[in-house]
Amino acid sequence: AHQWRGVIAEYADRLPATITEHVVTLREGGTPLIPAEHLSELVGGQVHVKYEGLNPTGSFKDRGMTAAISDAARKGARAVICASTGNTSASAAAYATKAGMTCGVLVPEGKIAMGKLSQAIAHGATLIQVDGNFDDCLTLARKLAEAYPVELVNSVNPARIEGQKTAAFEVVDALGDAPDIHCLPVGNAGNITAYWRGYTEYADPDAPGAGGVAPATRLPRMFGFQAAGAAPIVLGHPVDQPETIATAIRIGNPASWQQAEAARDESGGLIDMVTDEEILTAHRLLSAREGIFVEPASAASVAGLLKAHAAGLVPAGSTIVCTVTGHGLKDPQWALRGADGSDVEPVRVSVDVVSAADALGLE
């Protein structure tokens, strides 16, 4: 019987030997690309949602983490460290455990979703809460990795980008070619960098492992979206106090800033911002109309698509992929808030069929 072997085994010929030599995997990747009928109708094209919440720890980070931890294992590393708004720490903790390594995570004070925090703790990471934001945590993690015997597994580690580029490979494998437009949220900007590399390599017969074959004949336009309160790339300067309910992308000075701009410019794409309200509207649309539950940051890709469509930037008939990066169960509180901002309360009934039927509107 066949099962998906994880992104390193599935795409080994397109990854460096430093990663494929000693593979640590939880069989990440192979996530569904789901046709989104309601969204397709709204924008007049074919929209597909790449549901990265279905990775082993519930986010796209697992693609990069299998690569970073495999590389660390090859080097004989015993300990890894990362800064995180939550998902990276959950993923690092799980893969470090799988590899028999210890894991330290630096998280910003007070703004980590409960689901993510519990994962890091459950997998035995040492959790350090820093009096600062994500950008401060990353600065600290870099300094620790320079001065002490510990591997940094943030997306500034090149192995992370190599692993994450496999998501673009999967999209092309599923669609038969690259889409016209690819939308995704942007935080530290590693993922937009990775997707662009993946698409570029898959369209290049001379890319590593291509063997003269290019699975894609074209490249998508990359549409990246930051949260309005944390939109340094859109504003053109770092944001000292980033704020957004999408805590995963609450980042004021992205490490891969230049690479994100390159992906935008080389692809003829754009990087724009979406408000928290737009994010929550897209979050509700995904769960209530498409059956796809995501965390708020993930909904930025769909919020951005709707904004770009309203601005006339999405040609009719386009094929569009929106990456939704993390599972809704990571940060479930937002589902319990109605469109008007009120708490959603359950209807209460006694143990009685007629009252239950009545409450359900059954006749």
To 10 degrees, what angle do helices 296-310 and 276-285 make? 100
Does position 222 bind ligand F0G by CB under 6 A?
Answer: no
Which of residues 155, 244, 267, 318 is near ligand F0G by CB under 6 A? 155
Which of residues 10, 151, 278, 295 is near ligand F0G by CB under 6 A? 295
Does position 299 bind ligand F0G by CB under 6 A?
Answer: no
Which of residues 29, 45, 86, 104 is near ligand F0G by CB under 6 A? 86
Torsion from C-alpha of 233, 179, 167, 43, nearest 10 degrees: 70
User: Collapsing DSSP states into helix, strand and coil, what is residue 10?
Assistant: helix
Residues 233-272 that bind ligand F0G (CB under 6 A): 248-249
Residues 106-145 that bind ligand F0G (CB under 6 A): none
- DSSP labels for 202-270? HT-TTSTT-TT--S-SS-PEEEEEEETTB-HHHHTS--SS---S-GGG--SS-TTHHHHHHHHHHHT-E
Does position 84 bind ligand F0G by CB under 6 A?
Answer: yes
Task: Show the CA angle centred on residue 221, arms to residues 159 and 202, nearest 5°.
Answer: 45
Please count the other Cβ atoms lying within 10 Å of the Cβ belonging to residue 75. 10
Residue nearer to ligand F0G on the CB measure, 14 or 327: 327
Residue nearer to ligand F0G on the CB measure, 45 or 242: 242
Residue nearer to ligand F0G on the CB measure, 241 or 342: 241
Residue nearer to ligand F0G on the CB measure, 46 or 115: 115
Q: Residue written as tokens 């990854």?
A: 15
Does position 157 bind ligand F0G by CB under 6 A?
Answer: no
Output the CA–CA distances (angstroms, integers) from residue 190 to 41, 150, 155, 314, 349, in the order listed. Answer: 31, 21, 6, 24, 49
Tokens (6 digits) for 200: 């570029």
User: Collapsing DSSP states into helix, strand and coil, what is residue 307?
Assistant: helix
Does position 167 bind ligand F0G by CB under 6 A?
Answer: no
Lay out the site mask for ligand F0G across 60-79 (x = CB under 6 A, - = otherwise): -x------------------
Interface with ligand F0G by CB under 6 A: which range of 17-25, 35-43, 119-127, 179-187?
179-187
Residue nearer to ligand F0G on the CB measure, 46 or 138: 138
Residues that bind ligand F0G (CB under 6 A): 59, 61, 84-88, 155, 185-191, 248-249, 295, 297-298, 325-326
